[in-house]
Structure 1
Amino acid sequence: MTKRLRGRNSMFQNWAEVALLVGALIGTALALSLVLTGLAIRRAPGLGLLDKPSERKAHSDLIPRAGGIAISLAMAGTFLLWTDFFPWPMFANPWSTPLAICLGILLIVGLLDDLYGLPWLPRLLIHFALAAFFLIQQTDFAEPFSWPILALGIFWLALLTNAFNMIDGMDLLAGGTGFLIGGAIFLAGLFYPSDAVIWSIPLLGALAGFLFFNRPPGRIFLGEAGSTTLGFLLASLSLVVVLGQAPHWKQFPALLFLFLVPVYDLVTVVGLRLFQGKSPFKGDRQHLAHRLLGQGHSQGKTLALMFGLTIGGILSGLGILLTDNELLMTSLLIWQSGGIVGFFLLEYTSGSLTPVSAKEAATKEPSHR
């Protein structure tokens, strides 16, 4: 797998050219996203793409949930506008076309779910199938441990696809978290030369345009189509960058730290639901953001805390990835792991992670959606 996921290094031979290309891609994606997101807000009601108020949601109005469409079209438009100016074929690597296919299918499935509310099991099976489709084509089965790495990669893609869907419960949260992680992948791709950075650049611009309209009170949401495609894209790019290098133990904790908040949120909320005898796929108000709000924090402080946790995980993950000093790697690993355990214990002792009945969980005070 590692040989075929490796990106090409030619783009890093002229840093002035790289800076110009980065600015052009971000600027184009931002402009397109601002226009398309504004258009999506106006057109979504006619398409039935609206998030309806309920007892589990704080908003009392119908809110468009077409942000994923605007982000996807902004990225696609950016690639189309600039493809003739790239100094290398955009889709010459073996993973870009499969990734584009997977994202297109996820967008369609997400739109169907936003419109009609699809059952969780078919959606989950599709996530695993797309993860397998993407990774099998990149795998060299003659390499040692290719099967275990493939299995872990499939699980990772499906996990993050759902983690971003689950974390999308507050204005700016999923999009802002994705923006920070996308920036980290861009930096990692510069130091670990990889074509993955070319996907992350227009993503940052497109997310910035969406976040302008998603700031509280949000005028548009990502929707299932947006959150799942965002999670799959970021997880895929992280594998392209990290597994494109020589295998090393540091890659696995580094990936977990880069996606610290989505993974922590998913693991803890699924654990709570299982303790309560509930389906882990039945929505409630027990996500990390809801738990922080339940401790008396404002929405702004909750966002600041979660973005702070995300940045802390990113710094540890990048530090582990970019150093060859074993002592520094181990120190960062121990430091970040200790922080995670400490935060978990703080939540537990405060009562945020104390399992309650399913009925009580369903009627907890809503915070946003």
Structure 2
Amino acid sequence: MIFFSAFIVSIITTWGLIQLTKQQGWVSRPKGDRWNARTVSLHGGIGIGLSFSLCFLFWNLTSSTELEILLVCMPLMMMMVGLYDDIYQLMPAPKLISQILVAAAAIVTDIDFAFLAYEPLNWALTLLWIVGITNALNLLDNMDGAAPGIAFFSVLSLCLLPWNPTPWLTDIAMMLAGSIAGFLIFNFHPAKIFMGDSGSLFLGNLIALMLIQFSRTISPDIQHTFLQIPSALIIPVLLIIVPIIDTTYVSFNRWYNGFPISLGDKGHITHRLSFLFQSDWFSVLILYAYQLLVCIIVASYHWTLFYPLFLVTLWLLYKLTIKTNAFVWPEKYISSLEARTSHRYLFLKRHMLLYRLFRLNSQSLSTVKKRL
């Protein structure tokens, strides 16, 4: 009942936002550094936050503890920061400072990891976790349905996992899952509205806080987890693994290729999959399937399955990188091929490189650059 009420309210609020943003001209227009090629309504994150807040007020307010209220209020603060950023384009430093302040507030109110013996290490890990997950989900919000869909599977897992003994956390997860599901109807490809930073920062912060609270309920008897990492840490990580992998992957690629890590580009896993399969919606479904598979393995206690999955993931990311680097950085790749063909390669290898260079020069300037 909680899920469906949040779902219906989210549909209504998101539909209303679409009409309002169109009337006011609050829309995202195609730009060279953006993926979308259409004019789409903005500020959809308000719909998620509003529907979640209304359901919380209706279902939980009278029985809520101080901890529950704080758990809801801090993400709403991040939503306001994200909305300000959507409108006025905040610099990265103020946005990061606001995330650190919210994380510090969580630690002060006893929302932190508790599995390490040395308390300051728990605080440091909590700070890193909240800021990291908030930004990871924000970075994943680069294609229709990607970030909210992954967030939906992560939150839904909290409701269904067999060792969650906290009813109030399950209720909050149900409210959030319903709110995301209602928004996804309008955000999946082709999107009618984007959630923007207001939505991604809200979702990232709330999910980070919920997973911290969830980690405190995990029994220490759950042993033999992946790579012998404590279950109170590895289970939350796995439940939100796709944004973590994507952020780590794109940051490493930028550093390795000599670009600033903060540089915006089209090198995210979603973009590369779309270059490979020529389909945005199929690329997003691949990430959905991966996150769902990981959540199922976590729920089934089959930790040994993560070892082959880990190796297969590394291999697939390597192959994906090799096949799509030319689309992500066409000028850099063409320059690299030109330099390599100037060396004394074997006759056959040299002509293979020249053929690849010819194809890139002809195709990337037409189809690839048009896609970019």
TM range (shorter): 0.7 to 0.9
Q: Say which is worse superposed, 32-41 or 341-350, in terms of deviation.
A: 341-350
Q: Say which is worse superposed, 101-110 or 50-59, in terms of deviation.
A: 50-59
TM-score between both structures, scaled by the size of structure 2: 0.80
1:273 alignment counterpart? 254
1:141, 1:147 within 8 Å by CA — same for their partners in 2? Answer: no
How far residue 357 of structure 1 moved from its aligned partner, in angstroms, is 8.1
1:69 equivalenced with 2:46 (yes/no)? yes
Aligned partner of 1:242 among 215, 221, 224: 215
Distance in 1 of aligned mates of 2:215 and 2:113: 16
TM superposition outliers: structure 1 runs of 4+ over 6 Å: 140-143, 357-361
1:148 equivalenced with 2:129 (yes/no)? no
How far residue 268 of structure 1 moved from its aligned partner, in angstroms, is 0.8
When residues 354 and 132 of structure 1 are mapped into structure 2, their CA distance, relative to the original with a 3 A threshold, is farther
**Residue type of the alignment partner of 1:148:** L
Distance in 2 of aligned mates of 1:236 and 1:334: 28
1:269, 1:286 within 8 Å by CA — same for their partners in 2? Answer: yes
Distance in 2 of aligned mates of 1:271 and 1:216: 28
Distance in 1 of aligned mates of 2:204 and 2:142: 14
1:230 equivalenced with 2:203 (yes/no)? yes
Aligned partner of 2:105 among 120, 133, 137: 133
Q: CA offsets, 1:44-88, max 9 Å, x none?
A: 24556322210133544432112110111111111222337xxxx
Distance in 1 of aligned mates of 2:60 and 2:311: 45
1:347, 1:353 within 8 Å by CA — same for their partners in 2? Answer: no
When residues 276 and 335 of structure 1 are mapped into structure 2, their CA distance, relative to the original with a 3 A threshold, is closer
Distance in 2 of aligned mates of 1:235 and 1:220: 24
When residues 147 and 47 of structure 1 are mapped into structure 2, their CA distance, relative to the original with a 3 A threshold, is farther
1:170 alignment counterpart? 143
Please list, as runs of the form range in 1=range in 2, the aligned pairs for 1:58-207 lying within 5 A after superposition.
58-83=35-60, 90-92=63-65, 94-138=66-110, 144-188=117-161, 191-194=163-166, 195-207=168-180
When residues 128 and 47 of structure 1 are mapped into structure 2, their CA distance, relative to the original with a 3 A threshold, is farther
Give the 3-state SS of the residue equivalent to 1:295 in structure 2. Answer: helix
1:345 alignment counterpart? 318
Higher relative contact order (CA 8 A, sep 6+): 1
How far residue 271 of structure 1 moved from its aligned partner, in angstroms, is 1.2
Q: CA RMSD in A?
A: 2.9
2:239 alignment counterpart? 258
Distance in 2 of aligned mates of 1:91 and 1:226: 24
**Residue type of the alignment partner of 1:111:** L
Give the 3-state SS of the residue equivalent to 2:60 in structure 1. Answer: helix
TM-score between both structures, scaled by the size of structure 1: 0.80
**Residue type of the alignment partner of 1:270:** S
**Residue type of the alignment partner of 1:26:** F
Q: CA offsets, 1:161-193, max 9 Å, x none?
A: 1111111111111111111111111123x5221
How far residue 140 of structure 1 moved from its aligned partner, in angstroms, is 9.6
Distance in 2 of aligned mates of 1:119 and 1:213: 29
- Structure 1, unpaired ranges of 5+: 1-22, 321-327
- The sequence identity of aligned pairs, in percent, is 23
1:290, 1:367 within 8 Å by CA — same for their partners in 2? Answer: no
Q: CA offsets, 1:274-293, max 9 Å, x none?
A: 22333322211110011111
Aligned partner of 2:264 among 266, 270, 283: 283
- Structure 2, unpaired ranges of 5+: 223-229, 335-364
Distance in 1 of aligned mates of 2:36 and 2:311: 37
Q: CA offsets, 1:132-163, max 9 Å, x none?
A: 21123215999832221221121111111111
How far residue 344 of structure 1 moved from its aligned partner, in angstroms, is 2.8
When residues 296 and 79 of structure 1 are mapped into structure 2, their CA distance, relative to the original with a 3 A threshold, is closer
How far residue 231 of structure 1 moved from its aligned partner, in angstroms, is 1.1
Give the 3-state SS of the residue equivalent to 2:277 in structure 1. Answer: coil
**Residue type of the alignment partner of 1:265:** D
How far residue 204 of structure 1 moved from its aligned partner, in angstroms, is 1.3
**Residue type of the alignment partner of 1:279:** P
Largest Rg, 1 or 2: 2
When residues 246 and 27 of structure 1 are mapped into structure 2, their CA distance, relative to the original with a 3 A threshold, is closer
